[in-house]
Chain A
Amino acid sequence: MAASTLVQPSSATMMAASDRVNLAIIGPGSRGQQLMRTFLRVPGVRFAALCDIYEPRWDQARKITGENTRAFNDYRELLSTKDIDAVIVSTPLSLHSEHVIAALDSGHHVYGEKSMAPSHNAEKCATR
């Protein structure tokens, strides 16, 4: 995880009212699933939502969460849900900046897999 990027949104941060930290993940592929297991070893963490356009990933990810986690195939729908504290982006590299920027714009904390973007210009957008 040390090589990845953790970005805070510029707007006011949002926290769940309880001690629970509700995470969502965009892209629960092999790397994303490893991240899910690692985050679930942190006290209070659960996954409230997941998103992947490859729907067989949904059940794979639900086996990891141990619950019937809400699943989306459109990340914009996931980001519009109200009970998420932070978003993990572990999509293919070419999509990192698009998903990280959208998650930040929706007011969430973001954990983004490296690299933040495939090009210098896209990275500047993500860090603006």
Chain B
Amino acid sequence: MGSTFTIYLYTHDQTKADEVFEAAFDEIERVEEVLSNYRPSSELSRINRMAATEATTTDPEVFKLLETSFEYSRLSNGAFDITVGPLMRAWGFFRKNGRYPTRDELSHARAEVGWTKVKLDPNQRTVRFAVPGIELDPGGIGKGYAVDRVIDVLRDAGVKAALVDAGSSSLYALGAPPGKEGWKVIVPRPGDRAHAVAEVVLRDNSLSTSGSYEKFFRLNGRTYCHIMDPRTGEPVQGMLQTTVIAPTGTATDALSTTMFVMGPAEGRKLLESMPNTSAIWITNSTNEPFIEQWHWPGRLCRIQDDCPAAGEENRKQ
């Protein structure tokens, strides 16, 4: 994950708040130690090292998260795929040195990508890679999953109102601040945090945003972003930002990436099968940013309008 987590919460006194904060950040560290693919000691790193040579047993938590990840892969016909790491490497995004890969590099990377090449055995709770070179990268779902686990900790501690924000891209709004209907959340324009593109009041649900404006490179007049379409092996084109609201952080994190890859036409068809979801897409396929929405419950600004982000009391995604 490697993200900055921010937690706002209400308790009756500071001592209780301090206890809850400590438990919450302990949980973030625990999830990081389970899922980080930057830490050789993590459970996911162990699976990545072993599963190409033997069926590797893991604990129920990790196994269930892998099942959930591959369920999103199945539902999206591969638009969401946590095995996309070799493509990211081939396009230079792991070294922050984006470049167009050679045909051989791309072909080699594509051979090592594909959720169907990972075999899960629920009876034995094992993970097995069908080909060498596969690696599991929870980048598209891990932050939202960590947010959900923190919310579990807060609920267990009796907290009724909190907002947990992971890296300004995935958040969960628990309950509502005193006297409010919920937590007002501002979705900024792509690359412009001073202006809003949407706002919404959240209560007991989650919101995640995926954008192409932070990691990208330009070549021969085209922009290549860091979000890959696993089905083509190339960065997604024509999309600037997607935001999804759903009942869990795991869902919004996975779906914001999925909607980014699928785009509004294909994405809406998938969301029709998922109750209590809403989304906005900001596309630039016509050289002018354009917003499309699906059941968005809050205010939307036309991207050309002067739509300032709200004041300090509001959380910006």
Contacts and interface: CB of A to CB of B under 8 A. Distances in A.
Interface of A: 30, 34, 37-38, 40-45, 56, 60, 63-66
B58 interface: yes
Contacts of B19: none
A37 B26 CA distance: 16
A40 B120 CA distance: 16
Contact of B60 (A30, A40, A43, A44): A40
A42 B57 contact: yes
Given A43-B124, A56-B156, A64 B57 contact: no
- The binding surface of chain B is classed by DSSP as helix
20 contacts: A34-B30, A38-B59, A40-B57, A40-B58, A40-B59, A40-B60, A40-B125, A41-B57, A42-B57, A43-B57, A43-B124, A43-B126, A45-B57, A56-B156, A63-B61, A64-B59, A65-B60, A66-B61, A66-B63, A66-B64
Given A41-B43, A56-B156, A64 B58 contact: no
Interface residues of B, number: 16
Contacts of A65: 60
A37 B156 contact: no
A34 B31 CA distance: 11
Interface string B78-103: 00000000000000000000000000
Contacts of A45: 57
Interface core residue of B60, B61, B63, B125 (most chain A CB under 10 Å): B60
B156 A41 contact: no
Interface string B26-64: 100010001000000001001000000000011111011
A40 B57 CA distance: 8
Interface in B96-138: 124-126
Interface of B: 26, 30, 34, 43, 46, 57-61, 63-64, 124-126, 156
Nearest to A30: B26
Contacts of A64: 59-61
Contacts of B124: 43
A63 B62 CA distance: 12
A77 B126 CA distance: 32
A55 B291 CA distance: 50
Contacts of B26: 30
Contacts of A38: 59
Contacts of A40: 57-60, 125
A66 B57 CA distance: 14
A56 to B, nearest CB: 7
Contacts of B34: 37
Contacts of B43: 41
Contacts of B125: 40
